[in-house]
Amino acid sequence: MAIYDLRPWLSTPGTITSCPPGLEYLHQINQLIVCQHFDPLGALRKFETSKTYEILNNQGQRIYFAEERNNCFLRRLCGFSRPFTMTIYDNVGRDVLALHKALKCSCCWSRCCLQKLKVEAPPGETIGYVYQYFHPFLPKFKIKNENKEEVMKIKGPWLVFSCLRDLNFNLLTLDEEMVIGKISKHFSGSVRGILTNGEKLEIQFPFDLDVKIKALMLGATFLIDYMYFELWP
């Protein structure tokens, strides 16, 4: 049995008015940890059928389980530019979130090459989008609501591909004057750390942040991971 199967699930919370079903888990937390389940044999064989993740709170309890199902040919041909749908489940197997990314070229900085992610909660009901937007030096994104109105921005570091230090993507107000939260990629310190534990990203946000924006930050985390930190498509 894999180690990640032994983690305890967070107990199912009660229903909250006006909260999309399944997002109640996000109501009373201010931190998430996204851990990719890494299969060394699958990476060597180059034909793994899906990528899987677990989403934990800061106590190590599993809140969600995420799975990308995709055509292995597209993964190999297109890399992080590939289209994908990520489905996120809760502890009773209910589909809570769906993340949809279209096929986008990554070979230039034109508008057609900038990445975009649609977030649904529950699947079929759009709650917002994550848009990459152009900057000559920095990775930058806009978080938009279901009406495509901007609500937050995300700004990453200059040397985003550095593997020797922790990297932070800050969640900012629209005027970029205040940092509200962040998405962090922590340097594991060794190849063995990557091979045994897989990739980990940490998300921090205020307790009272709207649960939909928390869910959009989770979606942004997967997009950022695929764009900058994916080792094995």
Higher pLDDT, 161 or 230: 230
DSSP characters over 73-84:
HHHHHHGGGS-E
Phi-psi label, residue 199: left if phi above 0, alpha if psi -120 to 50, beta otherwise? beta
Tens-digit pLDDT profile for residues 97-154? 999 998 766 555 556 678 999 999 999 999 999 999 988 888 999 999 999 999 999 9
Tens-digit pLDDT profile for residues 155-201? 999 876 655 678 999 999 999 999 999 999 987 654 444 444 557 89
In a 3-state reduction of DSSP, which class is residue 104? coil
pLDDT over 60 (residue 3) = no
The predicted structure's pLDDT at residue 56: 95
CB 156 within 8 A of CB 138: yes
- In single-letter form, the type of residue at position 172 comes to L
Tens-digit pLDDT profile for residues 13-60? 777 888 999 999 999 899 999 998 765 555 455 555 568 999 999 999
**Banded pLDDT at 80 (limits 50, 70, 90):** low
The predicted structure's pLDDT at residue 1: 34
- Quick one: which H or E segment has residue 216? helix 211-224
Average of pLDDT values for 216-222?
97
Token pair recorded at residue 170: 């800050």
Name every residue whose Cβ is closer than 8 Å to that of residue 13 and which is 6 or more positions away in sequence: 24, 25, 27, 28
The predicted structure's pLDDT at residue 35: 93
pTM assigned to the model: 0.85
pLDDT over 70 (residue 10) = yes
The predicted structure's pLDDT at residue 74: 63
